[in-house]
């Protein structure tokens, strides 16, 4: 190696634009998450929102000098849907997208309403050529390797051709973010044979089978979501969102039942005390992994959607995820896959 | 009371027709379940299937003289779908339906493929007037009272009007089988407001809201399935089946993770030993309640569909459920509700 010629250090990428007004615990927990991401992981953050509220929240935690603020006077409420994003061009999420579009931020993070974030992202950021609809990818905590589930709620009414695109989006994500080589794709449906499911799933099965650019492994069912049989699980945004929330609710239910059961017996209670710290650890791990955030794929910039109930730790995790993804070539990878799609699989 | 005039004892209802050839563990575990239901609960059973195999299985357990057999030489395989039921008029499930139709059995129980059982039931048993499509109801183990989820897989491609009918089927089930008065109905979708979800859910929300015969409580999401907020949760058969299986898989996953976590630490392991019997109990309860079986609603006879992996205990539980339901006026109740449906809600 010629160490005499030293390359200039790569320029630091611009900061993460964090929508400080989105989420059940905004702005306080969002600001706390920003501080955590900056202090503990050195991730540069810009908070986007109402300056007065943000200065106050930053000051409370002695961080007024650490995190810059970009003004956005409007806010999308958690119960507002896609239409509100059209009506509020100066909402915190819209301004965050604008910063990325202008090159002043690397990626967007928001814990706002999924419908609002998706609609604003589609409106304010450019889509990748040929991608008809975006999809939200979630990483499920399967062992030994995690599984990508998409769409977790961006496109509730999908067409079969869109599911094929989602398969490519998920494959690109598994390749870049998880380092998976030639990822195995499964289609979420009911029944394990090709001819089973609703009309959407049956037609998607045919199209997925006929795409030489995909390693399609066939159908998977609801109970396969957490067994790690495939690398990417594809479904429409309605089914994916129901499945994801059912999963969260069921794990919570199982632990609650366990606590009750342990509480009923004195002997078991003693055992429970001994295990308590382990259980807490496990709970934290399942939580962190499940709630790290969904990634909106199909746009030319990274948008991470944190759980609406995200508190500081989850917000910080979402910023870490966005920072990590922003440096990767996932957009190029998706573009290449779209260019190679069979003609027959195109809707446009 | 005039005790001099004694009413004749009510005639014993005819037996349960048990499809002995359906299920992953047929016929052995099915036969064992029949014996258990008969010996432990006094439920009269007729086994329907290949006589030679059934006599052998009965003899092995010293029960050849206890349970009668009705011959059916054909069998629907677990991976066969709806079409096979047309091609095999003498399959064990078809013959079981025929027995009910003739009045020689009170109800059908099968652990065969859901698609096959549904198709055969629709073909061989009469539908209730005006019910366009049947639905499978599952009772979820919520506390303090169980919740009915439907459709769990009978009708994968549903129309909004069908979801309204499913709400009535579920309400009738909650009233008769669970003794619920004026049951609260929830619609499974993504997002809690009326305008959220896919097209099917949005339109169903409008129709459910406009039906004076229903106590519609609005939308529920995936994480509400096990919280017991409503008495009946309505969805299409595709989403319902994915949700149900996701639930089963997630609970299994949570327990497996817990076992691993306990195994990692010596202290926690000691605690685990103390708890083991409690955990086993809990597992059994969740299992039994979830796997008791689905009930196919909308036909003029009771059909209980046990889990494909059902073993003796689950088969016996399904027979108990069928026996209990056969004595109730659920069919009349559904008929009354259909007759009262608003004209605008009809598809036919």
- The residue among A129 and A280 whose pLDDT is bigger is A129
Residue A68 has pLDDT above 60, yes or no: yes
**Residue A140 vs residues A137, A185, A298, A307, B153: alpha-carbon distances, Å:** 10, 14, 20, 14, 25
Residue A289 has pLDDT above 70, yes or no: no
Regarding whether A193 and A151 lie in a shared domain, the answer is yes
- The residue among B309 and A10 whose pLDDT is bigger is B309
Average pLDDT over chain A, rounded to whole? 88
Regarding whether B206 and B69 lie in a shared domain, the answer is no
Residues of B in contact with A237 (CB under 8 A): 190, 198
- Range A79-98 burial, b when 16+ CB lie within 10 A, else e: ebbbebbeebeebbbbbbbb
Among B229, B247, B307, which would you mutate to test the A interface (most chain A Cβ atoms within 10 Å of its Cβ)? B247
Q: How confident is the model at residue A265 (pLDDT cuts 50, 70, 90)?
A: low
Regarding whether B194 and B70 lie in a shared domain, the answer is no
- The residue among B136 and A253 whose pLDDT is bigger is B136
Q: What integer pLDDT is reported at residue A292 of this predicted model?
A: 67
The rounded radius of gyration (Å) of the Cα atoms in chain A is 21
Q: Is residue A307 part of a domain?
A: yes
CA distance B175 to chain A (A): 26
B123 within 8 A of B85, measured Cβ to Cβ: yes
Q: What integer pLDDT is reported at residue A1 of this predicted model?
A: 46
Regarding whether B154 and B57 lie in a shared domain, the answer is no
Residue B338 has pLDDT above 70, yes or no: yes
Contact B191 A261 (CB under 8 A): no
Comparing CB atoms, the residue among B227, B243, B286 nearest residue A222 is: B243
Calpha distance A77→A41 (Å, rounded): 30
Output DSSP code: residue B345: G
Q: Which two tokens stand for residue A221?
A: 């069912």
Give the 3-state DSSP-derived string for chain A, with helices as H, strands as E and coil as C.
Answer: CCCCCCCCCCCCCCCEEEECCCCCCCCHHHHHHHHHHHHHHCCCEEEEECHHHHHHHHHHCCCCCCCCEEECCECCCCCCCHHHHHHCCCEHHHHHHHHHHCCCCCEEEECCCHHHHHHHHHHHCCECCCCCCCEEEEEECCCCCCEEEECCCCCCCCCHHHHHHHHHHHHHHHHHHCCCCCCEEEEECCCCCCCCCCHHHHHHHHHHHCCCCCEEEEEECHHHCCCCCCCEEECCHHHHHHHHHHHHHHHHHHHHHHHHHHHHCHHHHHHHHHHHHHHHHHHHHHHHHHHCCEEEECECCEEEECCCCCCHHHHHHHHHHHHHHHCCCHHHHHHHHHHCCCHHHCCC
Contact A251 B247 (CB under 8 A): no
Contact B197 A222 (CB under 8 A): no
Closest chain B residue by Cα to residue A269: B275
Residue B284 has pLDDT above 60, yes or no: yes
Residues of A in contact with B115 (CB under 8 A): 191, 196
Contact A242 B237 (CB under 8 A): no
Residues of A in contact with B235 (CB under 8 A): 242
Q: Which two tokens stand for residue A342?
A: 């069979």
Q: Is residue A111 part of a domain?
A: yes
Among A79, A81, A141, A271, which would you mutate to test the B interface (most chain B Cβ atoms within 10 Å of its Cβ)? A271
**Total CB pairs under 8 A between chain A and B:** 195
Residue A21 has pLDDT above 70, yes or no: yes
Q: Which of A205-209, B268-272, B290-294 has the highest mean pLDDT?
A: A205-209
Q: Is the ipTM of this complex over 0.85?
A: yes
Q: What is the mean predicted confidence (pLDDT) over B147-161?
A: 95
Among B79, B205, B224, B245, which would you mutate to test the A interface (most chain A Cβ atoms within 10 Å of its Cβ)? B245
A288 touches chain B (CB under 8 A): no
Q: How confident is the model at residue A268 (pLDDT cuts 50, 70, 90)?
A: low
Look up the pTM and report it: 0.90
Q: What is the mean predicted confidence (pLDDT) over B286-315?
A: 84
Contact A242 B271 (CB under 8 A): no
Bond preceding residue A151 cis, omega within 30 of 0: yes
Contact A257 B282 (CB under 8 A): yes
- The residue among B9 and B83 whose pLDDT is bigger is B83
Closest chain A residue by Cα to residue B255: A254
Find the range with the poorest average confidence among B69-83, B173-187, B311-325: B69-83
Q: Is residue B334 part of a domain?
A: no
Q: Is residue A5 part of a domain?
A: no
Output DSSP code: residue B128: P
Q: B14 exposed, middle or buried (CB, 10 Å; 0-12, 13-18, 19+)?
A: middle
Range of the domain at A203: 132-293
Percentage of chain A beyond pLDDT 70 is 86
Q: How confident is the model at residue A269 (pLDDT cuts 50, 70, 90)?
A: low
DSSP of B189-223, one letter per residue? -SSSSTT-S-HHHHHHHHHHHT-TTSEEEEEE-GG
Q: What integer pLDDT is reported at residue A329 of this predicted model?
A: 84
Q: Is residue A246 part of a domain?
A: yes
Contact B222 A237 (CB under 8 A): no
Calpha distance A293→A288 (Å, rounded): 9
Q: What is the mean predicted confidence (pLDDT) over A91-117?
A: 95
CA proximity to A227, closest of B46, B245, B328: B245
Q: What integer pLDDT is reported at residue A10 of this predicted model?
A: 64
Classify B10 as helix, strand or coil.
coil
Which run of H or of E encompasses B277? Answer: helix B266-291
Regarding whether A151 and A78 lie in a shared domain, the answer is no
Q: Is residue A6 part of a domain?
A: no
Q: Is residue A211 part of a domain?
A: yes
Closest chain B residue by Cα to residue A114: B191
CA distance B121 to chain A (A): 18
Sheet holding B135-140, edge to edge: B69-71, B45-49, B16-19, B107-110, B302-305, B294-297, B135-140, B147-150, B232-234, B184-188, B215-220
CA proximity to A67, closest of A58, A78, A56, A80: A58
Q: What integer pLDDT is reported at residue A28 of this predicted model?
A: 96
Q: Which two tokens stand for residue A306?
A: 């944190």
Q: What integer pLDDT is reported at residue A240 of this predicted model?
A: 97
CA distance B112 to chain A (A): 13
CA proximity to B148, closest of B118, B184, B114: B184
Classify B341 as helix, strand or coil.
coil
Residue B345 has pLDDT above 80, yes or no: no
Contact A190 B242 (CB under 8 A): yes
Calpha distance A259→A248 (Å, rounded): 17
Closest chain A residue by Cα to residue B225: A246
Classify B273 as helix, strand or coil.
helix
Contact A195 B156 (CB under 8 A): no
Regarding whether A266 and A173 lie in a shared domain, the answer is yes
Among A258, A262, A274, A290, which would you mutate to test the B interface (most chain B Cβ atoms within 10 Å of its Cβ)? A274
Contact A249 B223 (CB under 8 A): yes
Calpha distance A242→A237 (Å, rounded): 8
Q: Is residue B345 part of a domain?
A: no
Percentage of chain A beyond pLDDT 90 is 64
CATH of the domain at B59: 3.40.718.10
Calpha distance B204→B165 (Å, rounded): 10
Q: What integer pLDDT is reported at residue A346 of this predicted model?
A: 66
Calpha distance B112→A174 (Å, rounded): 37
Regarding whether B273 and B148 lie in a shared domain, the answer is yes
Residues B226-280: tens digit of each pLDDT:
999 999 999 999 999 999 999 988 888 887 777 776 666 655 555 565 566 666 6
Regarding whether B126 and B150 lie in a shared domain, the answer is no
Residue B147 has pLDDT above 70, yes or no: yes
Residue B285 has pLDDT above 90, yes or no: no
Q: How confident is the model at residue B42 (pLDDT cuts 50, 70, 90)?
A: very high
Regarding whether A320 and A268 lie in a shared domain, the answer is no
Q: A268 exposed, middle or buried (CB, 10 Å; 0-12, 13-18, 19+)?
A: buried
Residues 295-314 of A with CB under 8 A from B: none
Among A219, A228, A254, which would you mutate to test the B interface (most chain B Cβ atoms within 10 Å of its Cβ)? A254
Residues 215-274 of A with CB under 8 A from B: 221-227, 235-239, 241-255, 257-258, 261-262, 264-265, 267-268, 270-274
Calpha distance A173→A187 (Å, rounded): 16
Contact B254 A254 (CB under 8 A): yes
B283 touches chain A (CB under 8 A): no
Q: What integer pLDDT is reported at residue B85 of this predicted model?
A: 73
Comparing CB atoms, the residue among B237, B243, B270 nearest residue A243 is: B243
Residues B240-254: tens digit of each pLDDT:
999 999 998 888 888
Residue A327 has pLDDT above 70, yes or no: yes
CA distance B139 to chain A (A): 15
Residue B326 has pLDDT above 70, yes or no: yes
Regarding whether A86 and A208 lie in a shared domain, the answer is no
Residue B160 has pLDDT above 80, yes or no: yes
Backbone angles phi, psi at A191, to 5 degrees: 95, 145
Among A250, A273, A281, A309, which would you mutate to test the B interface (most chain B Cβ atoms within 10 Å of its Cβ)? A250
Q: What integer pLDDT is reported at residue A280 of this predicted model?
A: 66
Regarding whether A253 and A143 lie in a shared domain, the answer is yes
Q: How confident is the model at residue A343 (pLDDT cuts 50, 70, 90)?
A: confident
CA angle A318, A320, A322 (to 5 degrees): 70
Q: What is the mean predicted confidence (pLDDT) over B173-199?
A: 90
Q: How confident is the model at residue B1 (pLDDT cuts 50, 70, 90)?
A: very low
Residues B161-179: tens digit of each pLDDT:
999 999 999 999 999 999 9
- Range A222-246 burial, b when 16+ CB lie within 10 A, else e: bbbbbbeebbbbbbbbbbbbbbbbb
Residues 54-113 of B with CB under 8 A from A: 79, 81
Contact B261 A251 (CB under 8 A): no
Residues A152-200: tens digit of each pLDDT:
999 999 999 999 999 999 999 999 999 999 999 999 999 777 678 999 9
Regarding whether A211 and A258 lie in a shared domain, the answer is yes
Residue B225 has pLDDT above 70, yes or no: yes
Q: What is the mean predicted confidence (pLDDT) over B125-152?
A: 91
Tally of domains in chain A: 2
A121 within 8 A of A97, measured Cβ to Cβ: yes
Average pLDDT over chain B, rounded to whole? 87
């Amino acid at each position: 190696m010629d160490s005499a010629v030293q390359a200039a250090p790569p320029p630091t990428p611009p900061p993460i634009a964090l929508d400080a007004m989105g989420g059940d615990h905004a702005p306080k927990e969002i600001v706390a998450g920003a501080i955590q991401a900056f202090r503990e992981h050195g991730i540069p953050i810009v908070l986007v929102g109402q300056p007065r509220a943000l200065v106050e929240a930053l000051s409370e935690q002695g961080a007024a000098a650490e995190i810059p603020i970009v003004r956005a006077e409007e806010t999308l409420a958690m119960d507002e849907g896609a239409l509100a994003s059209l009506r509020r061009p100066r909402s915190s999420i819209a301004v965050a997208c604008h910063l990325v579009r202008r090159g002043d931020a690397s990626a967007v993070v928001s814990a706002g309403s999924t419908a609002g974030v998706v609609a604003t992202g589609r409106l304010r950021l450019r889509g990748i050529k040929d991608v008809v609809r975006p999809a939200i990818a979630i990483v499920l905590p399967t062992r030994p390797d995690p599984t990508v589930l998409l769409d977790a709620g961006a496109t509730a009414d999908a067409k079969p051709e869109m599911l094929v695109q989602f398969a490519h989006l998920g494959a690109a994500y598994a390749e870049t973010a998880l380092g998976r080589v030639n990822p195995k794709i499964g289609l979420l449906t009911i029944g394990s044979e090709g001819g089973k499911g609703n009309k959407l799933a049956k037609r998607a099965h045919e199209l997925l089978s006929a795409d030489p650019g995909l390693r399609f492994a066939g159908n998977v069912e609801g109970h396969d979501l957490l067994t790690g049989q495939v690398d990417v699980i594809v479904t429409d945004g309605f089914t994916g969102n129901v499945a994801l929330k059912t999963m969260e609710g069921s794990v919570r239910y199982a632990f609650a039942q366990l606590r009750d059961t342990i509480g009923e017996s004195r002997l078991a209670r003693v055992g429970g005390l001994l295990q308590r710290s382990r259980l807490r650890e496990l709970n934290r791990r399942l939580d962190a992994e499940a709630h790290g955030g969904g990634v909106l794929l199909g746009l030319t910039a990274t948008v991470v959607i944190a759980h609406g109930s995200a508190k500081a730790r989850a917000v910080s995790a979402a910023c870490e995820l966005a920072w990590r993804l922003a440096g990767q070539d996932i957009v190029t990878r998706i573009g290449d896959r779209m260019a190679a799609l069979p003609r027959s699989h195109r809707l446009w």
